[in-house]
């Protein structure tokens, strides 16, 4: 029988003062370093040789400041700034730091887990504090881990799940805090006092867990449907059985903006980010109708997977039409391939993923490049014409790939011209300036792009259509 956590580990920190040695134990910082910080007024109180739980938070803050390259003088000024929101965050951390702490060995014993299993969990999820200590919540999670292992859940698969959960929840927490800071603290016209910040967070914080669980339940329902379809396909012999654990067949798509680099260079990061936000909205709206799943977004590019090729091709054609219809928007390009991939921690890896990525890199503006595997499975898609591009050797791939381009059988042509500087496509009424050079008329989305062109016309080889 394991003993209660209450009788083990480093107990909770009360309002009682901490000695220098106790502070060093709690923070994993050498006592001599802490003593030097104390003498500089960074921790503790002047004239006193004892510390409080708040100093644990201060030590962590100082450590991060140093990691970011700031000097001790800079840190002193930051910590003693009377207008700083420091105290608000320290108060939050203090309540967390006041809980009991346990070593890894103690935690494993209390949870009934093998020490190596507990170590694998801690290393995979990064839940230990800077001193390598764990809390009662961590022991609770270790106990749940033991239940799953005892029930027969494969250890490697369980670690995949836990790593994804840890990464996603850490990212969700970061987004909540970081976005609040950037949009409440820095945005013009949203000046908040410390008191109003505390009132806001006191009202919003209780909503976080219910909202997270709401989205988890919605995702779980969709995942259950997808899982049921996979089981039925496998049991009915409609698909080949996986050759290795975690292998599934998917249509893999990469899509991005064809001229994002010159656009960002010409317009700056803020305007480029606004274009990416518009693009992301298009992707997600079209995706809802076509049963795809956005795996990741990297800059202006998206990786999306589909269970079959009909939906994938339909999505690509709809997204292209949305981009063409969007005012002042760059062209997109799409690469799409179908085949077996390995599913690992919510991501997809393998040579077929690489092929899809290379197809997107090869595609021209407004082009949807697909492999023969996609065309063969979606060739009967209504309202679509297929053009054979032929065999091509893609970068990094030894064998040639046969390429096809799907296009709508009937579509309304929208006449647009292309800004040679930023690559933005402009419809009627969207051209801000024009310039004729060497008998060719160039159109620009702004006077700024016109000025850049005039300064170095030879740099911009794109010609308005």
Q: Are 390 and 403 in contact (CB under 8 A)?
A: yes
Using 50, 70 and 90 to split pLDDT, how confident is the model at 28? confident
Question: Averaging pLDDT over each range in 198-207, 287-296, 381-390, which range is the top one?
Answer: 381-390
Q: Counting Cβ atoms within 10 Å, is residue 232 exposed (0-12), middle (13-18) or buried (19+)?
A: exposed
| Residue whose C-alpha is closest to residue 135's, from 171, 99, 182 | 99
pLDDT of residue 269: 94
Above 60 in pLDDT, residue 188? Answer: no
Instruction: Say which range, 80-84, 206-210, 239-243, has the weakest mean pLDDT.
Output: 80-84
Token output for 194:
């410390």
Q: What is the mean pLDDT of residues 243-254?
A: 94
Q: Is the pTM of this model over 0.85?
A: no
Q: pLDDT per residue over 280-291, tens digit each? A: 999 999 988 888
**What does each C-alpha distance from 48 to 182, 248, 320, 422 come to in angstroms?**
38, 64, 68, 62
DSSP codes, 147-180: HHHHTT--HHHHHHHHHHHHHHHHHHHHHHHHHH
In degrees and rounded to multiples of 5, residue 24 shows phi and psi of -65, -40
Neighbours of 258 (CB within 10 A): 22
Share of the chain above pLDDT 70, in %: 89
Set out the domains of the chain in order of their start, with CATH numbers: 5-97 (1.10.1660.10), 247-408 (3.30.70.1230), 417-459 (2.30.170)
SS3 418: strand
Above 90 in pLDDT, residue 176? Answer: no
| Residue whose C-alpha is closest to residue 103's, from 89, 92, 119 | 119
**Long-range pairs for 90-98 at CB < 8 Å and ≥24 separation?**
90/54, 90/57, 90/58, 90/61, 93/56, 93/57, 93/60, 94/53, 94/54, 94/56, 94/57, 97/13, 97/26, 97/53, 97/56, 97/57, 98/12, 98/13, 98/14, 98/53
Taking each continuous run of H as one helix and of E as one strand, the counts in the chain are: 16, 13
Mean pLDDT of the chain: 88
pLDDT of residue 200: 77
pLDDT of residue 252: 98
Q: Which residues contact 28 (CB under 8 A, 6 or more apart)?
A: 130, 131, 132
pLDDT of residue 449: 95
pLDDT of residue 97: 62
Helix pair 136-150, 104-111: axis angle to 10 deg:
50
pLDDT of residue 89: 63
Token output for 315:
């999505």
Q: pLDDT per residue over 89-131, tens digit each? A: 666 666 666 677 899 999 999 999 999 999 999 999 999 987 7
pLDDT of residue 191: 54
Q: pLDDT per residue over 364-388, tens digit each? A: 999 999 999 999 999 999 999 999 9
Q: What is the mean pLDDT of residues 326-332?
A: 95
Q: Where are the alpha helices (DSSP H) in 7-114?
A: 20-27, 31-39, 53-67, 72-79, 86-97, 104-111
d(CA 235, CA 351): 26
pLDDT of residue 462: 47
d(CA 123, CA 134): 12
pLDDT of residue 46: 87
What are the E-state strand segments in 278-420?
293-298, 301-306, 329-330, 332-344, 347-349, 368-371, 384-392, 401-408, 417-418
d(CA 115, CA 135): 16
Q: Are 201 and 176 in contact (CB under 8 A)?
A: no
Above 90 in pLDDT, residue 63? Answer: no
Using 50, 70 and 90 to split pLDDT, how confident is the model at 464? very low
Token output for 101:
């702490």
Above 70 in pLDDT, residue 32? Answer: yes
Q: pLDDT per residue over 413-444, tens digit each? A: 788 999 999 999 999 899 999 999 989 999 99
pLDDT of residue 60: 84
Residues 63-80, buried b or exposed e (16+ Cβ, 10 A)?
A: bebeeeeeeeeebbeebe
pLDDT of residue 185: 66
Share of the chain above pLDDT 90, in %: 62
pLDDT of residue 204: 84
pLDDT of residue 1: 41
Instruction: Say which range, 247-256, 264-273, 411-420, has the weakest mean pLDDT.
Output: 411-420
d(CA 187, CA 410): 46
Show the CA angle centred on residue 327, arms to residues 326 and 330, nearest 5°: 75
Token output for 418:
């292309």
């Amino acid at each position: 029988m394991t003993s209660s956590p209450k009788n083990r580990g480093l107990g909770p920190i009360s309002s009682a003062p901490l000695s220098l040695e106790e502070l060093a134990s709690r923070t994993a910082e050498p006592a001599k370093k802490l003593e030097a910080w104390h003498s500089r007024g960074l921790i503790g109180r002047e004239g006193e040789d004892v510390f409080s739980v708040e100093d644990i938070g201060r030590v962590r803050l100082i450590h991060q400041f140093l990691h970011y390259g700031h000097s001790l003088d800079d840190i002193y000024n930051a910590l003693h700034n009377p207008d700083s929101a420091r105290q608000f965050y320290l108060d939050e951390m203090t309540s967390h730091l006041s809980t009991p702490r346990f070593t890894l060995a103690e935690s494993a014993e209390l949870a009934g887990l093998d020490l190596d299993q507990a170590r694998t969990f801690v290393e995979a999820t990064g839940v230990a504090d800077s001193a390598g200590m764990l809390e009662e919540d961590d022991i609770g999670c270790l106990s749940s881990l033991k239940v799953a292992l005892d029930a027969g859940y494969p250890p490697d698969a369980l670690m995949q799940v836990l790593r994804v959960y840890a990464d996603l929840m850490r990212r969700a927490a970061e987004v909540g805090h970081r976005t609040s800071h950037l949009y409440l603290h820095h945005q013009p016209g949203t000046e908040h006092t410390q008191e109003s910040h505390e009132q806001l967070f006191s009202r919003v914080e209780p909503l976080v867990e219910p909202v997270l669980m709401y989205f988890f339940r919605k995702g779980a329902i969709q995942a259950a449907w997808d899982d049921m379809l996979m089981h039925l396909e496998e049991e009915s012999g409609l698909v080949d059985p996986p050759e290795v654990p975690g292998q599934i067949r998917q249509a893999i798509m990469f899509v991005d903006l064809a001229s994002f680099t010159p656009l960002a260079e010409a317009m700056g990061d803020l305007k480029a980010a606004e274009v990416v936000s518009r693009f992301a909205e298009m992707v997600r709206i079209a995706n809802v109708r076509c049963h795809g799943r956005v795996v990741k977004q990297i800059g202006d590019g998206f990786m999306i997977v589909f269970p079959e090729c009909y939906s994938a091709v339909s999505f690509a054609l709809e997204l292209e039409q949305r981009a063409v219809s969007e005012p002042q928007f760059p062209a997109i390009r799409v690469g799409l391939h179908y085949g077996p991939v390995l599913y690992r921690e919510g991501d997809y890896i393998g040579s077929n993923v690489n092929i899809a990525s290379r197809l997107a890199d090869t595609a021209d503006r407004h082009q949807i490049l697909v492999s023969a595997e996609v065309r063969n499975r979606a060739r009967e898609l209504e309202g679509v014409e297929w053009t054979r591009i032929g065999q091509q050797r893609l970068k990094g791939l030894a064998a040639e790939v046969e390429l096809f381009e799907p296009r709508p059988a009937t579509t309304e042509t929208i006449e647009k011209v292309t800004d040679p500087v930023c690559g933005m496509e402009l419809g009627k009424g969207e051209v801000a300036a024009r310039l004729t050079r060497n008998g060719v008329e160039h159109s620009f989305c702004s006077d700024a792009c016109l000025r850049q062109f005039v300064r170095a016309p030879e740099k911009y080889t794109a010609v308005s259509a």
